[in-house]
């Protein structure tokens, strides 16, 4: 087993990189891929950059060049469901790219033609293991909750109440962000198991930009806490 760990931003990756043992760096596609051991597991970690193209290309490199057998995406997201609060953790059960639109040709909003699925489902065993990790951590007196549900992805930072509400209603999603759907599609096409772990940095509303910077570090810590314990048990 070799696990590829993808974060969009350095703030999300910092705690991970600090814990990698026997680290070595390989430069590809203008990115630094860090290989080493994380809690006894072989991993390759990378900051892919923001957006769907960056994350898709990075995922393919992890699979094709580094021979990763599993992919984990960890980071922050905007919570668009009223029950999902700042710093909560969302484990994705499936992903949809909300800005993909060929509805004029009879497809549903977010549906990609000729790919064989409407949403990209995370690996069931990784979902169940992540849920178990979250339940165990919940018993330690943490100040956040965890949720399992749909995460949606698009090449926009959502910071508008009306748009956020529409996305929630259109897709029945808990959170939105800018990379996971593309990671999921790439893993799906390569038949690679994957899981998405996101902690809430903002609510996608009119002041989401302010909230994002306020909660980025704390949300990144919470996401890493789940990732860390998942890596230990995987």
* Cβ-proximal residues to 149 (8 Å cutoff; 6+ apart), any chain: 81, 90, 92, 93, 173, 174, 175
- The residue from 12, 88, 94, 211 that is catalytic is 12
The Cα–Cα gap between 34 and 47 comes to 9
Q: Nearest to residue 33, comparing CAs of 60, 11, 1?
A: 60
Catalytic residue among 81, 94, 179, 202: 202
Whether 12 is a known active-site residue: answer yes
The DSSP output letter for 105 is: G
Taking the C-alpha atoms of residue 49 and residue 30, their distance in angstroms, rounded to an integer, is: 10
Residue 71: CB atoms within 10 A of its CB come to 27
Query: For this structure, is 99 an active site residue?
Result: no
Residue numbers annotated as active site: 12, 202
């Amino acid at each position: 087993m070799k696990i590829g760990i993808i974060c969009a931003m350095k703030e999300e990756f910092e705690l991970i990189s600090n814990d990698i043992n026997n680290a070595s760096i390989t430069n590809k596609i203008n990115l630094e891929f860090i290989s080493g051991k994380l809690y006894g597991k072989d991993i390759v970690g990378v900051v892919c950059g923001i957006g769907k193209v960056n994350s898709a290309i990075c995922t393919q490199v992890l699979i094709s060049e580094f021979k990763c057998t599993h992919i984990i995406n960890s980071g922050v997201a905007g919570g668009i469901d009223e029950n999902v609060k700042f710093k909560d953790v969302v484990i994705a059960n499936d992903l949809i790219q909300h800005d993909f639109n060929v509805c004029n040709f009879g497809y549903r909003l977010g549906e990609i033609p000729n790919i064989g699925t409407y949403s990209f489902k995370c690996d069931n065993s990784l979902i169940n293991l992540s849920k178990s990790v979250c339940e165990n951590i919940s018993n330690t007196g943490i100040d956040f909750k965890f949720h399992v549900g749909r995460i949606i992805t698009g090449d926009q930072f959502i910071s508008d109440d009306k748009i956020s509400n529409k996305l929630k209603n259109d897709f029945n999603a808990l959170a939105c962000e800018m990379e996971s759907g593309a990671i999921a599609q790439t893993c799906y096409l390569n038949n690679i198991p994957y899981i998405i772990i996101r902690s809430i940095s903002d609510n996608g509303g009119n002041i989401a930009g302010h909230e994002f910077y306020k909660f980025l570090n704390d949300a990144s810590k919470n996401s890493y806490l789940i990732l860390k314990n998942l890596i230990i048990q995987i």
